[in-house]
A and B are shown apart, each in its own frame.
Chain A
Amino acid sequence: MSLFGTASSFGTGGTGVFGSTTTDSHNPMKDVEVTSPPDDSISCLAFSPPTMPGNFLIAGSWANDVSWLLSQSIEIYADRNQGWILCDGSKVFTASCDKTAKMWDLNSNQAMQIAQHDGPIKSIHWIKAPNYSCIMTGSWDKTLKFWDTRSPNPMMSLQMPERCYCADVVYPMAVVATAERGLIVYQLENQPSEFRRIDSPLKHQHRCVAIFKDKQNKPTGFALGSIEGRVAIHYINPPNPAKDNFTFKCHRSNGTNTTTPQDIYAVNAISFHPVHGTLATVGSDGRFSFWDKDARTKLKTSEQLDQPITACCFNHNGNIFAYASSYDWSKGHEYYNPQKKNYIFLRNAAEELKPRNKKW
């Protein structure tokens, strides 16, 4: 059963060059395929931090429905700040539907529970502040908790108005997007505290959020993606809010043709390029797009894959763009095809994400 194979006119465009005549559009961009990807939908991707030599990619997946643990999100800790437990390897933090978060030591291959919620945990992030370091977990139990991995009790628990849907952390800022279009910004200096609640710039359910930085490498705003093919760029303290904040459409079919209805897909993930500050969005339409938010231009849109793209990320120096194609459950259970293979692709991102015009 092919869900998204209908738009084959896009998918098969480039295959002739390579002499391949297959109609398989699982990899229309001819990117490097990661071998043995997870068997179930890939929910998140993360590269190893710059402190580790080489680039290691880790993929979080819904484990098969039978298995217990299903990772919603993964954070490789130890980056951005070296220190803590980083020795020869690293630790991976996983949050899962079983209401726990675990710390998985890659060296010993042991997982230790470090957090407990009353509901499935949807987001997990590592915070390294000068005076503390902790794991932040956001859950569907409408709380945001901060954990020292050595203690069974949270260092802090913050109540949220709704279930956490997505979050991002770039010290000293954290942003959490919740159900019912809630949007909360936290400041993390000294100790985490709610900084501001923001009226959503989007009209539909929030699906992904990513913080971007300014020229001084300080977090200054975030990009928020909704399930209805739109991304909002929102600055925390813009000089001119009406002008600086904007939204743009993405992951839609036939953008300009108004005679046929436009198909709108969910934006599944947003990731900012660590060097250029440009961003990548991936959607249920099976495409990824690169954007320059400052010039307000689209840099590139991919051909259409035959499955939604569910996750994406850049490695620490921005040379590699990884994206995962698997079912994102946007059409419910009926459309879930366990036989469909998942893929993770790697793409050279060094050039394609350069802003076109540095001056502006």
Chain B
Amino acid sequence: MDIASYLRCFEESLASYSGDDPLDPWDRFVDFLERRQPAGGGSEMSLVFDALVQRFLNVDQYANDVRYVNYCIRCASYRADPATLYAHVFSRGVGSRTAALYLAWARHFEQKGMKDQADAVYLKALENQAQPEDTLLHEYRQFQSRTRTEPPASGARVPLQNSQLTNQMSPQKKAATGSPSKLPLRRTVTTTSRAEASGLQRPSQDGGARTVSEYSEEALVHDGVEFCFEEVRAEKYFRKIRERQERERRENMQQQLRQQEQEVQRLQSMLQQVNQGLEACGGSHCATLQAPIFSSSSRSRRSVGLRLHSDLSLIQEAAGTGSGSEATRPPPVLSDCSGTAEPQAPGSSAQRNPDELGAAPLHCGLAPEPEEKFDVSQGGAANFSHVTPNSSLGFVQATPSRALPSPTVNTREALGVIMDMFQAPTFLDEPFQGASMLHRAAAEPDPDLETGVVPLVPEPPASAPFTIFQDYEDKENGSAAVPFERSRPARALTELSGPRADRPNEAPSELIPDESTMWGARYTSLAACPNSTTDFAPLAQFVSTPFAHKTPFGGYFFLAEENNGDDENVFIRRQTKKLSPIMEQSPADDAAAAGAPLLPPSARQGTIMADGFASSCLSMTQPPPPPALLSFRDQTLGPAEASGGEAHASPLQNPLRPSREPFQILEDPERPGSPEPDQSRLGDVPMSPQCAPKASAEPDRTGDVPMSPAAPGGLQLVSDPWDPDRISELLSRLRPPLTSHPCCYSWPCAVPSIGPKKTLSMGSSSLRVDAVLGQGAFATVFQATDPVTSDRMVLKVQKPANPWEFYINTCLDARLPPAVRHLFGSIRSAHLFLDGSIMLGELHNYGTLLNAVNLFRAQSDRVMPPPLVLHFAVCILHTVELLHAARIVHADIKPDNFLLGERFLETRSFDADGVNHGLVLIDLGQSIDMALFPECTAFTARCLTSGFQCTEMLSGKPWSYQTDYFGIAGTVYCLLFGTYMQVVKEGGVWRTTGTFRRKPHADLWLDLFHTLLNVPDCGAAPGLQGLRRRLAAVLQQHYSSKLATLKSRLVVQLLENHRARR
């Protein structure tokens, strides 16, 4: 039986082997064979070894197994060219740490007389720390002593040899065919050395070969400076440019001279005419006409010359070059006048400054252009800046002062971001940085305003560290209702009327005088405000939503432009262009504004004021109707409401008042409920200055029931779902009472003072307040960190207390499936104090939808790309759908009440039914729990604090869920157009004033808005789901591929914006 058949049998038997050491049977098999054939059969044994080596070549387990390596060596010993096999197995990682392989390999090289290769193998073995090391070292030393007599391998060659070794071991198929001795040499294509400049040069390599540079070395040296090829070429190019410029300049100059000559001739002829006229009319005008009076030709000529000269210098001054001095200027002119002028003979300043001369007219020609442009924007500004822009719309773009904030601040911010990442709990000083930054931004324009010089683009200091260009949007987290910062508009407004420091803590009512004087002073077309409280209303409204603090900057910006109309900075013009569109007003609004100067504050804010409504006010010649805080449920609305209510006594209401009672089903007389609402009411009194008029407001409010006689039969009409009394009453009826909720805590004390860097302890836990996220008339929102868990959250501090928001939160918890709960802002716990409340809520870091809209406005596109709008619209519809299913009416849906959370950054799914889109609806403080009302309840009050007033409110119809539909429409519109929605009623149908013609899928959008704005009655819901399906289908069909890219783009912007804000 020969070995081949043994091998076959053995391999068959292997199939049944199930141990974990498959080499073991081979081991025994080889042993068996060797015992049978102690000598000879060598060539046949190679078969076995080949099979063995082949079989385990790729088995990592045996790569450094001594048995296997030995088999490899034995296998190689049967080969004609063992080195090939060594290299081959080695290339597969076999024996890389086994000394035996290296030793066999090196010995083979040594036997062949290839000392260098052998040396390289030893070095490689040492480098790989082959085991056993002592054997290896011993062998290497032996090898070195054997080879010492021969020319030693120099150390400098090591890298080279390494590479040879590498080469030698690379492709085995080719290598196997070559003879071992030639192999390394043949593969040495690259001769690598150490760094050319620093390493040793091997004379045999470099010194021997003469080299010729195949480039023109002389061309590369210019005046001792080296040139690169491009510079050689550029030099020629520049020479040509210079020559051309020279030529142009010469032509310009000649033209200039020709023009001068013509001018002189013209003036001379004029002078002659005048002289003739003078002569004709005798000396009667001598006294008045001075220059021409000297009728002697020489004098008159000189005067012409002087005039001409002065013209020129004027031109020069206009051009800002002003290089021609008075002294040098006249001669050429005079010489021209005297007729001796030759174009080529100037020899004076005229020639020296041909450029300036040429430039002058140019500049003059250019100058008006920017002015015109600015005029346009001024028009826009004037149109708009006495409008308190709708806070929820906000000022979209960074104003110059914000666009290029001081670099140091930015650097600090950038550093802050990094620090933040690593030291999450230690960013205590951030708030102050942020505050100071904002403060600076706000303060910057002041001096400018006063001096009338506004450096629109502050040149960054020479040492500018690194201005990371960022449009600072609000620093709002926009978490929960975040009403807004009242200090900001206050400051801005007062500054307009004069630099007067305004402290953030001033009660809003104190602002009123400033407000009105401001308005009066600046816009004389406005009538004096007769009633400061009414005036407060718009202000309060302005204040009631986040982002309004942009307004001041906007105001500054335009003021600045007026002052600075001739600023030619291109960049700023670009900015203006970006800014102005958002201020566009519909003609309807302007008309209204023209008619009723006092109306605009609300109308122009982008809140929706129907034409009809405006005109009805006009006809009454009533004081402005009242963007009053009519029914802001949190009880700070007193004054506004008082006045507003009266002002409201518009035609609609007065006649209807008598019919109020029958409908006032739920207006139960207030009865003492649980202590908690009492508390809030108690706290109410001392707290808000607006409360003073409250008592008087009371009757008015109840009278504020514009009943629609057309109310559908089964409808339960409730006037005002936000009525504080009703709210407290509803809360008091809760069983169990809200205060028994495990996350609701009542404290028999006042709200602790909260500010950045303060640590707040509530019971056992403590919170460190990091920063103010937003501040408004009703609430201040802080970012806080739990020092134990490093958990970050928002604190909404509100005075007086607002337990209602927490109640709605509990409703959501109870009624929504847990999987979709995250679509709505959640409140972890509520702390009710005697005079206020603190709510702990989730932090959503990436700004609001409005913020996103503004990010896009900052770019060339101006608006959010349609696919994203579609996506957001689908998300919004879905969210609201779920909310309504839980019988909650949000009642304040607007772009700034949608937050983008972390989820938005993470999710990749665009499923229409997906709930991971990351859009979070917040601020449920105004929400209405329909479950507390009987079926088919409808409301009649007009919500004037909200950015949106639904069409039903505008037309005096009862409403319920419609306000949310309207809110959706307004939000989607804002996404789509980047401006606020305006609605008009035409032929009994409400429609937006937007132009859809150029929008993709205009039909779809028109249909959406039509559906949302024209809900037939409270019973017939428009079916958000159907709308959503249609939008999703379009999205899927047209944009499924683009959406991900667009979103990631937005995400990048959000991240940048987020970082920049902090």
Contacts and interface: CB of A to CB of B under 8 A. Distances in A.
Given A262-B210, A332-B219, A153 B230 contact: no
Closest 10 CB pairs between A and B? A83-B1052, A148-B469, A201-B195, A296-B163, A330-B215, A332-B219, A191-B466, A357-B170, A261-B210, A356-B170
Nearest to B1059: A131
Contacts of B187: 297
A357 B169 contact: yes
A212 interface: no
Interface in B15-60: none
Interface stretch (A215-223, A224-232, A311-319, A339-347): A224-232
Given A156-B464, A262-B211, A330-B216, A359 B93 contact: yes
The contact size tier of chain A is 35 or more
Interface stretch (A16-24, A25-33, A244-252, A271-279): A244-252
B411 interface: yes
Contacts of B210: 261-262
A329 B229 contact: yes
A246 B232 contact: no
Contacts of B166: 295-297, 357, 360
A257 B209 CA distance: 8
Contact of B571 (A81, A152, A192): A152
Interface in B192-242: 192-199, 208-216, 219-220, 225-234, 236-238, 240
A87 B226 CA distance: 43
Nearest to B859: A85
A65 interface: yes
Contacts of A245: 194-195
Interface string A226-260: 01101010100000001101111100100000100
A266 interface: yes
A202 B198 CA distance: 8
A87 B467 CA distance: 26
**Interface hub of B214, B411, B1059 (most chain A Cβ within 10 A):** B214
Contacts of A328: 229
A155 B166 CA distance: 47
Given A258-B208, A297-B167, A298-B189, A265 B214 contact: yes
Contacts of A205: 220, 226, 228
Given A65-B236, A180-B226, A131 B571 contact: no
A296 B219 contact: no
Nearest to A206: B228
Nearest to B91: A359
Contacts of B457: 152-153
A83 B189 contact: no
B142 interface: no
Contact of B1045 (A86, A151, A333): A86
A264 interface: yes
A169 interface: no
B404 interface: yes
Interface of A: 41, 43, 51, 62, 65-66, 70, 72, 81-88, 97, 120, 122, 130-133, 140, 146, 148, 150-153, 155-157, 163, 165, 179-180, 190-192, 199-203, 205, 207, 227-228, 230, 232, 234, 242-243, 245-249, 252, 258, 261-266, 284-285, 291, 295-298, 328-333, 335, 356-357, 359-360
Given A132-B469, A247-B195, 4 more contacts: A122-B230, A284-B214, A297-B170, A297-B189
A156 B465 contact: yes
Contact of A191 (B91, B411, B569, B1042): B411
A329 B464 CA distance: 38
A10 to B, nearest CB: 15
Nearest to B218: A332
B460 A153 contact: yes
Contacts of B569: 152
B192 A227 contact: no
A150 to B, nearest CB: 6
Interface string B558-587: 000000000001110010000000000000
A155 B468 contact: yes
Contact of A261 (B93, B169, B212): B212
B415 interface: yes
29 contacts: A65-B236, A65-B237, A82-B1048, A83-B1049, A83-B1051, A122-B230, A140-B234, A150-B574, A152-B571, A153-B457, A191-B466, A200-B197, A201-B196, A202-B196, A205-B220, A227-B228, A227-B229, A232-B195, A243-B159, A258-B209, A264-B213, A265-B215, A284-B214, A297-B167, A298-B190, A331-B216, A333-B233, A356-B170, A357-B170
Nearest to B210: A261
A266 B229 contact: yes
B31 to A, nearest CB: 31
B489 to A, nearest CB: 27
Contacts of A70: 237
Given A82-B1048, A245-B195, A120 B234 contact: yes
Contacts of B91: 357, 359-360
B464 A228 contact: no
B232 A203 contact: no
Contacts of A62: 233, 237
B1046 interface: yes
A297 B190 contact: yes
Given A82-B1049, A332-B219, A199 B198 contact: yes
B861 interface: yes
